[in-house]
Amino acid sequence: MEKMSRVTTALGGGVLTGRTMHCHLDAPANAISVCRDAAQVVVAGRSIFKIYAIEEEQFVEKLNLRVGRKPSLNLSCADVVWHQMDENLLATAATNGVVVTWNLGRPSRNKQDQLFTEHKRTVNKVCFHPTEAHVLLSGSQDGFMKCFDLRRKDSVSTFSGQSESVRDVQFSIRDYFTFASTFENGNVQLWDIRRPDRCERMFTAHNGPVFCCDWHPEDRGWLATGGRDKMVKVWDMTTHRAKEMHCVQTIASVARVKWRPECRHHLATCSMMVDHNIYVWDVRRPFVPAAMFEEHRDVTTGIAWRHPHDPSFLLSGSKDSSLCQHLFRDASQPVERANPEGLCYGLFGDLAFAAKESLVAAESGRKPYTGDRRHPIFFKRKLDPAEPFAGLASSALSVFETEPGGGAMRWFVDTAERYALAGRPLAELCDHNAKVARELGRDQVAQTWTMLRTIYCSPGLLPTANLSHSMGKGGSCGLQLMNSFNLKDMAPGLGSETRLDRSKGDARSDTVLLDSSATLITNEDNEETEGSDVPADYLLGDVEGEDDELYLLDPEHTHPEEPECVLPQEAFPLRHEIVDTPPGPEHLQDKADSPHVSGSEADVASLAPVDSSFSLLSVSHALYDSRLPPDFFSMLVRDMLHFYAEQGDVQMAVSVLIVLGERVRKDIDEQTQEHWYTSYIDLLQRFRLWNVSNEVVKLSTSRAVSCLNQASTTLHVNCSHCKRPMSSRGWVCDRCHRCASMCAVCHHVVKGLFVWCQGCSHGGHLQHIMKWLEGSSHCPAGCGHLCEYS
């Protein structure tokens, strides 16, 4: 036959070519089937029955099998199947229960061959035997399956499923005599074609109707079933009891399922409701479709792989009256679109990072690791350890720690908890905070605090006293110590700190500030002029902008020395002396605040740079004396706060704001302050530092912030006279019209803290009650109750 030869050439060519394409049908399709030559496809529907040739660029209508003037119900097809051995032979299942066979080899226009009118209701499925040319099987809504021999006029045998409608019948590829049928009640039956009396095996596969099934094309006894329960299950039928191998969950009920040729674990599904897409699943990865075809605008009713050995062409027919050829290459792959990584910055600067493991596995072999027990074991999970393969995915999730420099937030919590913001003189607060910062290794911040102290707390007469004191004590032993602390990498900070210690006191004058800058100058000069033993970065490491400003001030003020010029020289040794040897009593308390001093002693250093720096130091010290008011620095302080805020250290900005209070508040935009406050409070609350947060709120000068405390808390108050809940807002009871919170002592309304006795419910101003109860144990209201204040 000439047709035959053409087919062989097509197959002999070996390669199918084509592209993703579609053509419009005149009517919705119900089913499609491909000719074994992979070049023709038949489309059947309620009012369509056509054969299309699949060409490279398009579908070409080849034959319309729906002939005759009046449409017959016999032509209303629910299913169609093309014989896999004889491409002239087709069978259709009609909605009226008729099974029709078609012979394309007939010369007449009407190709109808045989008509079997044995089923009483719609025939859902027809199926040719894969190897036997004349055997046709049908499954119907009436619950029966029939086997036809095309050489005879009627069915050979009838199989009764003993249950509801048959949805699908499929001959096994593996066993000559076996076929599987699926039912609306969720059962799958396995029949021997020779034994119509009863089924070989029956099991419940799905919850609800099983719409379809498909034997695995490779001879392995796997049967895939799809049901209304949105699942596709893969069964191993070779074992005594059908064993569920895989289960794929889809979005909608599964109408058709087809194994993908040449891909052991892939199958294609489509749905009859809701979902218009065709999915190709890897059964081992049951959650995400491997590929997805989204061409159809209505539900897909029929799918067929174009060639039994080619995995890339899929044909489909749809209710949207179109026929499509899909190329696997063009499929959208949700897996590819999926984000393989999750990343989250945690509160404490730790990172949670989840990543696809196949990526990880690929790299893991490179560097052998020598085992660090401190790292916990990395979690890995494989779905099927026995069969590792690339397509599968699982992820590893780790939490990483970043070090303080990298963003760990431990310091934040510590700092927040330990900072002192109020309740002590400014100088002490600064000292304390500087100390805290230094202990936490935040040298820059510590230094800022000490500088603030020197700027805003003037030493008054005290330093002078110190100086003279040190003059007396200043000895050669001091030099070495002084040097040692110069060499500390945080030299600038320490320098100013020294000054601080010395200048404890609240009297106002600017000497200390000047001292501080002088110290800085010392250090700088030290580096510039000597350079010998000083680490190159010791100065630049942590100095902020304002330091620079201070240096700059220096040259302009080079003036003749004053008599006092020697004093600073002793100032340094003094401090160390105090630590080393029992100091003068007036310094004792100060030292307690700076434990780091002892640390600096540990460093041993050369004496060389000391002298030169000393001379410079003395010069500048003398110069600045009492010339610059703190206001001079307000701009710098403002810039500094902005700097910190910009760095993300809003904690510093707010702390300084609070500590300095009025001194800087006017220089900074109200809104910015508010923003800092709210940011900081928000952070504190994230870290569950309620107390600190509360303190900050209380200390804040911004009204918007301080009113935060008054939000979101309900206080239920009962009238102390009639004991009814007070509903109105004020302090006057609605019922008894008396003021509820009168002080029993002074008989005025109490605003603010109100203390009362639970026994007699009398109370009043905290102060008044306390005072009263000191002298008497009776209730001040005169009710005779013995109140007690504890």
Residues 403-432 that bind other proteins (CB under 8 A): 403, 405-410, 413
**Contacting other proteins (CB under 8 A), which of 69, 374, 716, 751?**
374
Q: How far apart are CA 497 and CA 519, in angstroms?
A: 10
- The answer to whether 50 and 59 are in contact (CB under 8 A) is no
State yes or no: residue 273 binds other proteins (CB under 8 A): no
State yes or no: residue 249 binds other proteins (CB under 8 A): yes
Q: How far apart are CA 453 and CA 449, in angstroms?
A: 6
**How many residues touch other proteins (CB under 8 A)?**
118
The least CB distance from residue 193 to other proteins, in Å, is 39
State yes or no: residue 389 binds other proteins (CB under 8 A): no
Tell me whether residue 88 or residue 672 sits nearer to other proteins (CB atom): 672
State yes or no: residue 401 binds other proteins (CB under 8 A): yes
Tell me whether residue 728 or residue 790 sits nearer to other proteins (CB atom): 790
Task: Looking at residues 640 to 659 of the shown chain, list those that interact with other proteins (rule: CB under 8 A).
Answer: 642, 644-650, 653
Tell me whether residue 153 or residue 748 sits nearer to other proteins (CB atom): 748
State yes or no: residue 279 binds other proteins (CB under 8 A): no
The least CB distance from residue 230 to other proteins, in Å, is 7
- The answer to whether 741 and 750 are in contact (CB under 8 A) is yes
Task: Looking at residues 551 to 590 of the shown chain, list those that interact with other proteins (rule: CB under 8 A).
Answer: none
- The answer to whether 573 and 475 are in contact (CB under 8 A) is yes
**Residue 160 in tokens:** 């009764």
State yes or no: residue 701 binds other proteins (CB under 8 A): no
State yes or no: residue 774 binds other proteins (CB under 8 A): no
State yes or no: residue 402 binds other proteins (CB under 8 A): yes
Tell me whether residue 263 or residue 351 sits nearer to other proteins (CB atom): 351
**Contacting other proteins (CB under 8 A), which of 15, 390, 536, 711?**
711
Residue 768: what residue type?
H
**Contacting other proteins (CB under 8 A), which of 671, 718, 727, 776?**
671
Only segment of 131-139, 584-592, 619-627, 754-762 that touches other proteins (CB under 8 A) = 754-762
- The answer to whether 681 and 711 are in contact (CB under 8 A) is no
State yes or no: residue 376 binds other proteins (CB under 8 A): yes
Tell me whether residue 202 or residue 696 sits nearer to other proteins (CB atom): 696
Give me the residues paired with residue 293 across strands: 278
The least CB distance from residue 784 to other proteins, in Å, is 12
State yes or no: residue 685 binds other proteins (CB under 8 A): yes
State yes or no: residue 344 binds other proteins (CB under 8 A): yes
**Contacting other proteins (CB under 8 A), which of 356, 557, 721, 771?**
356
Task: Looking at residues 189 to 248 of the shown chain, list those that interact with other proteins (rule: CB under 8 A).
Answer: 230
Q: How far apart are CA 732 and CA 715, in angstroms?
A: 15
Q: Tokens 């003993």, residue?
A: 162
Task: Looking at residues 302 to 341 of the shown chain, list those that interact with other proteins (rule: CB under 8 A).
Answer: 334, 338-341
Tell me whether residue 308 or residue 759 sits nearer to other proteins (CB atom): 759
Only segment of 41-49, 626-634, 684-692, 722-730 that touches other proteins (CB under 8 A) = 684-692
Task: Looking at residues 584 to 643 of the shown chain, list those that interact with other proteins (rule: CB under 8 A).
Answer: 642
Q: How far apart are CA 748 and CA 765, in angstroms?
A: 9
**Residue 723 in tokens:** 């004991």
Run of H or E including 167:
strand 166-171
Give me the residues paired with residue 178 across strands: 192
Tell me whether residue 16 or residue 272 sits nearer to other proteins (CB atom): 272
Q: Tokens 């004020």, residue?
A: 730
CA end-to-end span of the chain: 114
Q: How far apart are CA 156 and CA 136, in angstroms?
A: 10
**Contacting other proteins (CB under 8 A), which of 15, 390, 602, 715?**
715
Tell me whether residue 115 or residue 704 sits nearer to other proteins (CB atom): 704
Give me the residues paired with residue 214 across strands: 224
Q: What does 36-58 look like in DSSP terms, one character per residue?
A: TTSSEEEEEETTEEEEEEE-SS-
Kindly compute the dihedral angle of the four CA atoms of residues 690, 693, 694, 698, in this order, to the nearest 10 degrees: 180
Q: Which residues contact 687 (CB under 8 A, 6 or more apart)?
A: 347, 409, 412, 413, 416
**Contacting other proteins (CB under 8 A), which of 191, 215, 328, 756?**
756
The least CB distance from residue 351 to other proteins, in Å, is 6
Kindly compute the dihedral angle of the four CA atoms of residues 437, 441, 444, 445, in this order, to the nearest 10 degrees: -20
Only segment of 184-192, 368-376, 444-452, 626-634 that touches other proteins (CB under 8 A) = 368-376
Query: Among 261, 259, 262, which Cα is nearest to 246's?
Result: 259
Tell me whether residue 264 or residue 785 sits nearer to other proteins (CB atom): 785
Q: How many CB atoms lie within 10 A of CB 696?
A: 25
Run of H or E including 2:
helix 2-13
State yes or no: residue 396 binds other proteins (CB under 8 A): yes
Q: How far apart are CA 522 and CA 251, in angstroms?
A: 75
Q: Which residues contact 548 (CB under 8 A, 6 or more apart)?
A: none
Task: Looking at residues 128 to 187 of the shown chain, list those that interact with other proteins (rule: CB under 8 A).
Answer: none
State yes or no: residue 686 binds other proteins (CB under 8 A): yes
